[in-house]
Homo-oligomer: A and B are copies of this chain.
Amino acid sequence: MTLSEEDYIKAIYHLGKGENRMVSTNALSESMETKPSSVTDMVRKLSEKGVAHYKKYKGVCLTENGQKIALALIRKHRLWEVFLVDSLNFSWDEVHEVAEQLEHIKSEKLIDELDKLLGYPQVDPHGDPIPSKKGEFKKAIKKLLNEVPVGSRGICVGVKDSSGPFLKFLDKNKIALGDAITVLDKEEFDGSLHIKIKDRKMQISDQIATNLYLKITE
């Protein structure tokens, strides 16, 4: 697989939302930042290579084989992201571009050993699951913090209320995107939560919890 082919395979996978839905030429061209005509050429080639199903005017999806390739790439991408954050002091929002390059490195041993070095992580710094060597993984879902059951662990990935005061509150309380959060307990009385955030324990009100998105794998 060439570099460009791998990029297309990944894009088809992601646009198909992991569920291998048909992806349109235009959607692909937009996501790849190429012209639709280039996409037509490429998906035809991928089809000939047996990694994609392509029907003229209908769209593309991946074959079994194509999905395997996509999952292997995603596995590599996310393992490298963990490495960059855990070992090389990158922050969660700096890793993507570099991981995009590293995911194309070809060496099975490299990835196996990296996985071992990192302690077989289950999720990347954005809270997205890392497929196993066989391509298995649990899907990630995004929920408001007040909706997840006690015991859930996840990554803070967004806010519903993006007003100045709320953002200031988060900043003051050292709650940031990318932080790992575990829900320890919930007060039934007022809905406030006891959470562990980045190894620090704190309590947050229901009002805060209803405005923070958590990405959990389940």
Residues of A within 8 A of B (CB): 84, 87-90, 94, 97-98, 101-102, 105-107, 109-110, 113-114, 117
| Complex contact A88–B117 (CB within 8 A) | yes
Q: Which B residues lie within 8 Å of A89 (CB)?
A: 113
Q: Which B residues lie within 8 Å of A90 (CB)?
A: 109, 113
Q: Which B residues lie within 8 Å of A98 (CB)?
A: 105, 107, 110
Which of B84, B94, B106, B113 contacts A101 (CB under 8 A)?
B106
Known contacts A90-B109, A90-B113, A102-B105, then 19 further A-B pairs from the complex at CB < 8 Å, ordered by chain A residue: A84-B110, A87-B113, A87-B117, A88-B109, A88-B110, A88-B113, A88-B114, A88-B117, A89-B113, A94-B109, A97-B107, A98-B105, A98-B107, A98-B110, A101-B105, A101-B106, A101-B107, A102-B102, A105-B105
22 pairs across A/B with beta carbons < 8 Å? A84-B110, A87-B113, A87-B117, A88-B109, A88-B110, A88-B113, A88-B114, A88-B117, A89-B113, A90-B109, A90-B113, A94-B109, A97-B107, A98-B105, A98-B107, A98-B110, A101-B105, A101-B106, A101-B107, A102-B102, A102-B105, A105-B105
Within the complex, what minimum Cβ distance (angstroms) separates A29 from chain B? Answer: 24
In the complex the two chains form, what is the Cα distance from A101 to B104 in whole Å? 9
